[in-house]
Amino acid sequence: MIKFGPAGNDITFYEEGYKRTVQSPKWLHEKGLTAFEYSFGKGVTLNDKTAEEIGKEFKKYKIAISVHAPYYINFASPIDENAEKSYGYVLRSLQKLRILGGNRIVVHVGTCGKMDRQEAISLIRKRLEILKEKLIQNGFEDMLICLETMGKHGQIGSYQEIVDLCKIYKNYVPALDFGHINAFTNGGLKTKEDYAKILDYVKNNLDEFRTKHFHVHFSKIEYGAKGEIRHLTLEDNVYGPNFEPLAELLKEKDLEPVIICESRGYMARDAAILKAIYEAVK
């Protein structure tokens, strides 16, 4: 089934007196949410004991947990030593994810830096081939590596680039961040047809499982000449994108992604709104 949830703990979670992520599953369950994304964005610091405690609670309340790998992963780095570190960040994140009881990890593939865009993509492709072998060697063939679309023009991560990179390995799944896509295209997501073009590109290039069970990040994002500036809440009426056209397509096409809301500060509140919009579609 399609799942909705927040990226991390909402401001409301703390305002209601909760302090630890181990308390999140019950709180999310009571709000009708069924997914949660734990961030290792600034580093993989979660210890195994705490991960076990958190994992048991997520399993108890049937909340699907995913993780976001460190933000500083860059498979386009011209320095091989940095690429080795990036492999390590992914593998270490996966070790924690296994303890947490999830099977989805979101990964940023890299930035252009001073390289030509196609040169950077070529290097990323080479590194993702190596990562594939490392995943197999380390017993992570059951894990889905969700390669994320990005919002800044200097980053590798248009939806076409991400889907094409996912062809490398059956466990590479597109993480379609529609706020990022909208920012990357300077407001290109306005109509149902705009969303359909993206979903059709996935369908025409990847297998049935990844076409149906891809990963989603959704939020409204402020953007400028170079793309993404900052995340907003669903209350924003200026930047978009709007969820309604996507919700209609998800129902029409019988798609079942995991949808993680990344609204600024109010991720769970807005995740519940996204769920309500989806459920209201006929």
What's the angle, vertex CA 169, arms to CA 164 and CA 175, rounded to 5? 55
Contact criterion met (CB below 8 Å) for 169 and 128: yes
Number of domains present in the structure of the chain:
1
What's the angle, vertex CA 97, arms to CA 92 and CA 102, rounded to 5? 155
Alpha-carbon 59 to chain mean position: 20
Quote the domain boundaries for residue 34: 3-280
Domain holding 246: CATH number?
3.20.20.150
In order of 30, 80, 210, the CA distances from 106 in angstroms are: 26, 22, 14
pLDDT at 271: 98
What phi-psi label fits residue 115: left (phi over 0), alpha (psi between -120 and 50 degrees) or beta? beta
Evaluate the CA torsion angle 27, 221, 258, 194 in order and state its sign: positive
Closest alpha carbon to 224 in 281, 183, 191, 262:
183
pLDDT (tens digit, 0 to 9) for every residue of the chain, 282 residues total? 999 999 999 999 999 999 999 999 999 999 999 999 999 999 999 999 999 999 999 999 999 999 999 999 999 999 999 999 999 999 999 999 999 999 999 999 999 988 999 999 999 999 999 999 999 999 999 999 999 999 999 999 999 999 999 999 999 999 999 999 999 999 999 999 999 999 999 999 999 999 999 999 999 999 999 999 999 999 999 999 999 999 999 999 999 999 999 999 999 999 999 999 999 998
Radius of gyration of the chain (CA): 18
pLDDT at 282: 83
Contact criterion met (CB below 8 Å) for 61 and 35: no
3-state secondary structure of 176: strand
Question: What proportions of the chain, in percent to the nearest 5, are helix, strand and coil?
Answer: 45, 20, 35
* DSSP bridge pairs for 4: 259
3-state secondary structure of 258: strand
